[in-house]
């Protein structure tokens, strides 16, 4: 079966790219002709020239110079993300907006929307018809896999707008229990809650993806999107308790850490695999730590987009892994009991695979 996925596959972060490739990798392992729809709307193309293009006030030139290292790292990381995508999964032709998808849709027997925050109405993608599969032949099966709203609730207006779009789907699954309640509140029944695509491939897939990052000795990984003071406080305390140094990856350099801001996706996975502990406000940073059986601590994001992480922690009895600068040392240093966690996770993974197999049958 020709299966195309539609997700935030061009977002400038490791998690978005890894989950997109993981889903197509699993679909191909099931015998499907699977590919990622290379959808690149303008609101996801954030990279701009480092230097002002026309005559600008001196303050803009000074700002550009001050942020040169940040932009340089960002460009290097972008090239690594693009290389990774091209090497790990087949891509369709590039589409820049939903109109181009409607006018010349890629051939497919089934379309899968998800995972990631494709239906987060506080972001542009939550208002984009492309992520509701509003294109392509009416004969295509339309499936939502591990779709996320990113928040616990949505407004009545957003629900009213979404309902007719979701009614077109042949099968819907979501990634968080709050998402299931949102869909049920639209009168569409309660969809199953499934695991993020990074959990679908066999463990060997991630072992082969991970690249030795060249870091010697014990280390704690920081993966922080927000320049969070709380992440810094937690990471410094954990490093002290474990006698480890701190390695920071992600979009920002940290004065308190050894920085790997230009790590390739393979090196990013390798950093998680080798860490003593992962301190993060990223869903996928924590998910990969679970895949490799590493200790991890979650710090809330300041923008409030924490539902994904809270749901995962609650589902697997890991509420104590939600940390702040006030968390007692004993909890920061406590190991995760993976012997108790894995059976529940493995059941959820198998149920998620069954959902996809049935939806595509």
Among candidate residues 148, 178, 145, the one with its CA nearest the CA of residue 352: 145
Among candidate residues 193, 231, 136, the one with its CA nearest the CA of residue 307: 193
Q: What is the pLDDT at residue 51?
A: 53
Q: What is the pLDDT at residue 186?
A: 96
> Is the same domain home to 268 and 294?
yes
Q: What is the pLDDT at residue 20?
A: 97
> Is the same domain home to 187 and 220?
no
Structure tokens, 117 = 């925050």
* Residue where a domain terminates, one of 147, 169, 200: 200
- CA-based max dimension of the chain: 62
Asked if residue 83 is part of any domain, the answer here is yes
Q: Are 149 and 125 in contact (CB under 8 A)?
A: no
* Residue 304 in this model has a pLDDT that exceeds 90: no
* Residue 280 in this model has a pLDDT that exceeds 90: yes
> Is the same domain home to 218 and 160?
no
Query: Mean per-residue pLDDT for 144-157?
Result: 94
- How does strand 258-259 pair with strand 245-249? parallel
For residues 42 and 306, what is the distance between their CA atoms, to the nearest angstrom?
Answer: 26
Mean pLDDT for the chain overall: 93
CATH of the domain at 265: 3.40.50.2000
Domain tally for the chain?
A: 2
> Is the same domain home to 25 and 129?
yes
Exposed e or buried b per residue across 343-356, where buried means at least 16 C-beta atoms within 10 angstroms of its C-beta: eebeebbeebbebb
Asked if residue 359 is part of any domain, the answer here is no
Share of the chain above pLDDT 70, in %: 94
Asked if residue 357 is part of any domain, the answer here is no
Q: What is the pLDDT at residue 307?
A: 84
Long-range pairs for 25-33: beta carbons < 8 A, 24 or more residues apart: 25/88, 25/89, 25/200, 25/201, 25/205, 26/197, 26/200, 26/201, 26/353, 26/356, 27/3, 27/112, 27/356, 29/201, 29/202, 30/356, 30/357, 32/1, 32/2, 32/3, 32/360, 33/1, 33/2, 33/3
> Is the same domain home to 85 and 169?
yes
> Is the same domain home to 80 and 175?
yes
Q: What is the pLDDT at residue 182?
A: 97
Asked if residue 325 is part of any domain, the answer here is yes
Asked if residue 302 is part of any domain, the answer here is yes
Q: Which domain holds residue 111?
A: 2-200
* Residue 203 in this model has a pLDDT that exceeds 80: yes
> Is the same domain home to 192 and 253?
no
Query: Mean per-residue pLDDT for 91-117?
Result: 95
Query: Residue 225: pLDDT band by 50, 70, 90 thresholds?
Result: confident
Asked if residue 161 is part of any domain, the answer here is yes
Q: What pTM does this model have?
A: 0.93
> Is the same domain home to 44 and 143?
yes
Q: Pick 197 or 73 by higher pLDDT.
A: 197
> Is the same domain home to 102 and 161?
yes
Query: Mean per-residue pLDDT for 76-99?
Result: 95
CATH of the domain at 146: 3.40.50
Asked if residue 349 is part of any domain, the answer here is no
> Is the same domain home to 152 and 294?
no
> Is the same domain home to 186 and 273?
no
* Residue where a domain terminates, one of 200, 229, 244: 200
> Is the same domain home to 261 and 130?
no
36-40, 166-170, 304-308: segment of lowest average pLDDT: 304-308
CB-based burial label for 286 (10 Å; 0-12, 13-18, 19+): buried
Asked if residue 240 is part of any domain, the answer here is yes
Q: Are 291 and 199 in contact (CB under 8 A)?
A: yes
Q: What are phi and psi of 249, to 5 degrees?
A: -130, 170
61-70, 84-93, 102-111: segment of lowest average pLDDT: 61-70
Dihedral (CA of 111, 97, 180, 23) sign: positive
* Residue where a domain terminates, one of 200, 218, 242: 200
Interval 30-83: pLDDT, tens: 999 999 999 999 988 765 555 555 656 766 656 666 677 788 888 899 999 999
């Amino acid at each position: 079966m020709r299966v195309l996925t539609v997700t935030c596959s061009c977002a400038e972060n490791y998690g978005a790219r890894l989950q997109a490739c993981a889903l197509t990798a699993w679909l191909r392992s099931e015998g499907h002709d699977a590919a990622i729809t290379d959808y690149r709307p303008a609101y996801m193309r954030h990279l701009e020239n480092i230097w002002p293009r026309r005559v600008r006030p001196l303050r803009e030139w000074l700002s550009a110079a001050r942020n040169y290292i940040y932009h340089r790292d960002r460009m290097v990381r972008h090239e690594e993300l693009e290389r990774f995508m091209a090497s790990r999964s087949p891509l369709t032709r590039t589409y820049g907006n939903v109109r181009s998808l409607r006018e010349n849709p890629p051939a497919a027997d089934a379309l899968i929307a998800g995972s990631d925050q494709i239906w987060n109405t506080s972001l542009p993608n939550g208002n984009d018809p492309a992520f509701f599969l509003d294109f392509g032949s009416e004969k295509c099966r339309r499936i939502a896999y591990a779709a996320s709203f990113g928040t616990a609730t949505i407004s009545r207006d957003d629900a009213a707008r979404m309902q007719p779009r979701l009614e077109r789907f042949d099968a819907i699954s979501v990634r968080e229990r709050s998402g299931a309640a949102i869909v049920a509140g639209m009168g569409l029944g309660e969809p199953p809650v499934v695991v993020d695509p990074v959990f679908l491939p066999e463990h060997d897939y991630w072992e082969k993806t991970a690249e030795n990052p060249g870091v010697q000795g014990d280390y704690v990984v920081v993966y922080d999107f927000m320049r969070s003071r709380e992440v810094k406080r937690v990471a410094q305390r954990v490093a002290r308790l474990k006698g480890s140094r701190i390695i920071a990856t992600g979009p920002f350099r940290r004065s308190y850490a050894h920085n790997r801001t230009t790590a390739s996706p393979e090196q990013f996975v390798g950093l998680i695999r080798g860490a003593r502990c992962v301190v993060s406000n990223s869903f996928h940073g924590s998910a990969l730590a679970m895949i490799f059986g590493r200790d991890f601590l979650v710090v809330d994001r300041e923008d409030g987009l924490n539902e994904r992480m809270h749901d995962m922690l609650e589902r697997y009895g890991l509420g104590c892994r939600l940390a702040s600068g006030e968390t007692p040392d004993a909890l920061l240093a406590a190991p995760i009991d993976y012997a108790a966690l894995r059976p529940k996770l493995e059941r959820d993974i198998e149920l998620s695979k069954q959902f996809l197999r049935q939806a595509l049958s």
